[in-house]
Amino acid sequence: MQVNWNHLKLVFLFLTVIALYSFADYRSSQKNVDDIVVKFLGDNDLYLTEASVNKLLIQNYGTVKNRPKEELVLNTIEEVLLSNDMVKNAQVYLTVNGELISKIVQRKPIGRVEGVSKFYLDDMGKRMPMSQNHSARVPIITGKITGKSLEDAYVILNYINEDDFLRKNVIGIHIEEEGKYQLKFRLENFVVNLGGVDNLNEKFKNFMAFYAKAAKDKSLEKYAIVSLEFSNQVVCTKI
């Protein structure tokens, strides 16, 4: 019987690679965590600090640094980070150098509710608590706060944030009642009666045409109320 030495060599090499990999993996699992690195992703990293993240881990998971890597349950650590009201998304992994890397995306507020309860409305339309570390410069929402009116405010804010002029100039939404919303502008004396959230594109198109003409005529300061509630027209009330 002829022995295929090339075949045996390949089998031996394959088994050697597996053994080396298993040994390296075992040695790696026996190492301790040398350092904890927190990375905040995106442009919204103001509401949590690295110290507060480490404190959150210690309080809810225990000490991580100098702990054997094999004892860590990464999914559980991610769940701990996600339990914080300021965290939108979190990813945790270990490096071969013994670092525990936490990549965190913080929630993004787009409006601030000023009522009996004070909180942010985030970019997913959910309530977000105020932060002790930073106060966001976003439009203030006042008036009759209800679940439905906040849903409508979220629709309005999303539209505003898609337009450069509106995003820079609208500083507030006042809820007179469900379906009746009023906008406040940064530099103008007038308020804009928006009505409901129907036909927003048409309403703001009409408003921008009015604003451009009134700015050219230097008559913006003459108006107290600009109403967009009526179909395809802008109705103004002078001071």
One domain for residues 127 and 97: no
Query: Of 52, 85, 106, at which residue does a domain stop?
Result: 106
One domain for residues 102 and 114: no
Q: Any idea of the CA torsion for 153, 175, 206, 137, to the nearest 10 degrees?
A: -60
| Total-model pTM | 0.79
- Kindly report, residue by residue over 176-224, the tens digit of the pLDDT: 998 899 999 988 889 999 999 999 999 999 999 999 999 998 888 888 9
Asked whether residue 11 is assigned to any structural domain, the reply reads: no
Alpha carbon distance 30, 28 (integer Å) = 5
- Kindly report, residue by residue over 119-130, the tens digit of the pLDDT: 999 999 999 999
Alpha carbon distance 86, 38 (integer Å) = 15
One domain for residues 132 and 174: yes
Alpha carbon distance 62, 74 (integer Å) = 13
Q: Give me the number of domains the chain comprises.
A: 2
Alpha carbon distance 200, 181 (integer Å) = 12
One domain for residues 148 and 202: yes
Q: Mind spelling out the 3-state secondary structure of 160-215?
A: HHCCHHHHHHEEEEEEEECCEEEEEECCCCCEEEEECCCCHHHHHHHHHHHHHHHH
- Kindly report, residue by residue over 55-83, the tens digit of the pLDDT: 999 899 888 888 888 888 899 999 999 99
What was the pLDDT predicted at 149?
95
Asked whether residue 10 is assigned to any structural domain, the reply reads: no
What the block records as the tokens of 44 is 């919204």
One domain for residues 114 and 91: no
One domain for residues 197 and 115: yes
What was the pLDDT predicted at 212?
93
Provide the domain limits for residue 178: 110-238
One domain for residues 149 and 93: no
Identify the band that residue 10 occupies on the pLDDT scale cut at 50, 70 and 90: low
- Kindly report, residue by residue over 11-30, the tens digit of the pLDDT: 555 545 554 444 345 444 45
CATH number, domain with residue 114:
3.40.50.11690
Query: Of 51, 77, 106, at which residue does a domain stop?
Result: 106
Alpha carbon distance 181, 166 (integer Å) = 15
One domain for residues 234 and 120: yes
Q: What proportions of the chain, in percent to the nearest 5, are helix, strand and coil? A: 40, 30, 30
Asked whether residue 25 is assigned to any structural domain, the reply reads: no
Asked whether residue 69 is assigned to any structural domain, the reply reads: yes
One domain for residues 57 and 147: no
Asked whether residue 150 is assigned to any structural domain, the reply reads: yes
Rg from Cα positions in the chain: 28
Report yes or no: 24 and 87 within 8 Å, Cβ to Cβ: no
One domain for residues 71 and 128: no
The per-residue pLDDT of the chain, averaged, comes to 86
Residue 5 predicted with pLDDT over 60:
no
One domain for residues 149 and 231: yes
CATH number, domain with residue 82:
3.10.20.310
Asked whether residue 213 is assigned to any structural domain, the reply reads: yes
Identify the band that residue 42 occupies on the pLDDT scale cut at 50, 70 and 90: confident
What was the pLDDT predicted at 56?
92
Query: Of 90, 106, 122, at which residue does a domain stop?
Result: 106
One domain for residues 95 and 121: no
Q: What is the mean pLDDT of residues 168-173?
A: 96
- Go through 75-114 and write b for each residue having 16 or more CB atoms within 10 A of its CB, e for each that does not: eebbebbeebbbbbebebebeeeeebebbbbbbbbbbbbe
Asked whether residue 24 is assigned to any structural domain, the reply reads: no
DSSP, collapsed to helix, strand or coil, labels residue 2 as coil
